[in-house]
Amino acid sequence: MLSLPPDSPLNARSGPTLVILLRSFGCTFCREAMSDVAQLQASIRQAGVGIAFIHSESAEVAAPWFAKYGLEEVVRISDPALAHYRAFGLGRTPAAAIVDPAVWMRGAASALAHGFGTQTAEMIRRQPGVFLVRGDRILAEYRHRSPADRPDYLALARTPVQLGLL
């Protein structure tokens, strides 16, 4: 059972929601995730699923990033205290995953498309994740093994249909 912060906007949602927890806007993989979800948002919504992003920045810092990717209509949750990250059980990415040459190679390729950035020491080790939730239940999840993982957002969004929930 998921125990979200009492004031979380996710508590008020009745239908399934695809929740994407970002490391930081300085992370090229997070910008790639935003781009991927932006391209899929119509299909995700057609599956009967809402979209929510959780990030650690202020709403003011986040707004231009969501505008850049055409994600102004998604639920955006500013969580500088990282309470949602803890609720979803997201800890720290192992150091080995960050220094892995394959991660750096994929990061360079992603940065060419989505730009280079910088991150705080805390957020560079923050584990990202994608969860399909309905109420206090996690219906499906993708827990990154490395920041370079690229989840299948649409497959996760289609889980309620596969489970006969919609």
Domains delineated in the chain: 9-162 (3.40.30.10)
Whether the per-residue pLDDT at 110 is higher than 70: the answer is no
Average pLDDT over residues 18-23: 94
Q: What mean pLDDT is reported for the chain?
A: 83
The residue that leads in pLDDT, 9 or 100, is: 9
% pLDDT > 90, the chain: 52
| Whole-number pLDDT of residue 147 | 72
Whether the per-residue pLDDT at 157 is higher than 90: the answer is yes
- Most confident among 53-67, 96-110, 132-146 (mean pLDDT): 53-67
Whether the per-residue pLDDT at 52 is higher than 90: the answer is yes
77 and 84 Cβ atoms separated by less than 8 Å: yes
Its pTM surpasses 0.85? no
The residue that leads in pLDDT, 103 or 45, is: 45
| Whole-number pLDDT of residue 146 | 73
| Alpha-helix residue ranges (DSSP H) falling in the chain | 28-46, 59-68, 83-87, 95-99, 101-114, 121-124, 153-157, 159-162
Specify the amino acid at residue 104: W
| Whole-number pLDDT of residue 76 | 96
Whether the per-residue pLDDT at 59 is higher than 50: the answer is yes
Neighbours of 80 (CB within 10 A): 9
The residue that leads in pLDDT, 26 or 15, is: 15
Whether the per-residue pLDDT at 123 is higher than 50: the answer is no
Residue 159's pLDDT band, with cuts at 50, 70 and 90, is confident
b/e string for 19-50 if b means 16 or more Cβ within 10 A?
bbbbbbbbbbbbbbbbbbbbebbeebeebebb
User: How far apart are alpha carbons 123 and 18 in whole angstroms?
Assistant: 21
